[in-house]
Amino acid sequence: MRTAPFFLAAVLAASATAAIAVQAPPPVAPEARNVALGALTLTPVRDGANIAPNDGKVFGLDVGPAAVAAFLRAKGLPTDAIPLNVGGLLVRGLPGRVVLIDTGNGPTKGGQLMASLARAGVAPGAVTDVLITHGHGDHIGGLVDAAGRPAFPRATIRMSAPEWAYVRTQGSSSAIARGIAPRVRTFAPGAAVLPGIVAVPLRGHTPGHTGYRISSRGRSLLDIGDTAHSSVVSLGHPEWTMGYDGNKPLAERTRVAELARIAGTGMLIFAPHFPYPGIGRVVRSRPGYAWQPALR
């Protein structure tokens, strides 16, 4: 997929907006909880949390804070901010592999990923493959340690070719890109990345934003990355513009279509920004959709 200059410019602007709009995140405790998927064990590993203010810059850019507040109020929730989880997904059971999808904020921002992995009984050196949905800091920050060295010394780091090209244009990611470059292997959008794991293009958030469909013994789960951020606002009004999206019209079309497909099939998903542990189903509701956690 070719990346148009206007797309990169839009993503850069969105990244800057996101950096301004997010309040200081509250501390969280490390967490790791297991769920079976066929012959696999999936473990959401918590890294941290973000608080997105209802200020017209993050959720509902096209409708404004008053409309977002009214929707939150109707749900019995605070109207001034939207909490977001930060974390990754550990996949065990593939022969000879320990796979981690996304790495959170990283140690310089108080990330708890390593402590969560320890709770799961996994040392950094045991991870063989790190799959990246996209190159925002709350997904790639944990790829390096506090000294800028690879945090997973034996792992191959895999992301879509358009996303790796994007990461290398970001000044905020330059140290991470330098630290991981020798270990990065790219793939074409839609490729089979590993046995049982297929990359799913989910376009619009960043140039190469990718979900991952994990399958075993007739069961599947889709890691949706940042297709939807809030289990309340993004599901209730997927048509509302999201400030973090680089190509906002394309991301909106992807979100609307993908949520309709997910709800229609009843498929299991992992949404890293939904309330931990972030595994569940999207069901039809009014308006839009609602979140049905599989783990509590």
| Mean per-residue pLDDT, 34-63 | 97
**In the chain, where the domains are located:** 5-293
- Decide the pairing of beta strands 35-37 and 219-223: unpaired
- Considering only 18-32, 69-83, 245-259, which range has the smallest mean pLDDT? 18-32
Measured in degrees and rounded to the nearest 5, phi and psi for residue 235 equal -85, -40
- The answer, yes or no, to whether residue 17 has pLDDT greater than 80, is no
pLDDT band at 187 (very low <50, low <70, confident <90, very high): very high
- The answer, yes or no, to whether residue 292 has pLDDT greater than 60, is yes
- The answer, yes or no, to whether residue 13 has pLDDT greater than 70, is no
Looking at every residue in the chain, the average pLDDT score rounds to: 92
Nearest to 58 by CA among 23, 12, 18, 15: 18
- The whole-angstrom distance between residue 264's C-alpha and the CA centroid of its chain comes to 22
pLDDT band at 23 (very low <50, low <70, confident <90, very high): low
| Mean per-residue pLDDT, 253-276 | 98
Q: What percent of the chain has pLDDT over 70?
A: 91
The topology under which CATH files domain 5-293 is Metallo-beta-lactamase; Chain A (3.60.15)
**CA dihedral of residues 241, 282, 265, 252 (deg, nearest 10):** 0
> What is the DSSP secondary structure assignment for residue 55, as one 8-state letter?
S
Q: Is 263 helix (H, G, I), strand (E, B) or coil?
A: helix
pLDDT band at 295 (very low <50, low <70, confident <90, very high): confident
For the chain, report the end-to-end CA distance as a whole number of angstroms. 38
> What is the DSSP secondary structure assignment for residue 144, as one 8-state letter?
B
| Mean per-residue pLDDT, 246-254 | 98
Q: What pLDDT is stored for residue 26 in this prediction?
A: 74
Looking at residue 200, its amino acid is V
Q: What is the pTM of this model?
A: 0.91
Q: Is 230 helix (H, G, I), strand (E, B) or coil?
A: coil
Q: What pLDDT is stored for residue 27 in this prediction?
A: 85
Question: What are 197's two structure tokens?
Answer: 């794991």
pLDDT single digits (tens) 142-182: 999 999 999 999 999 999 999 999 999 999 999 999 999 99
- The answer, yes or no, to whether residue 198 has pLDDT greater than 90, is yes
| Mean per-residue pLDDT, 40-46 | 98
Q: In sequence order, what are the beta bridge partners of 271?
A: none
pLDDT band at 7 (very low <50, low <70, confident <90, very high): very low
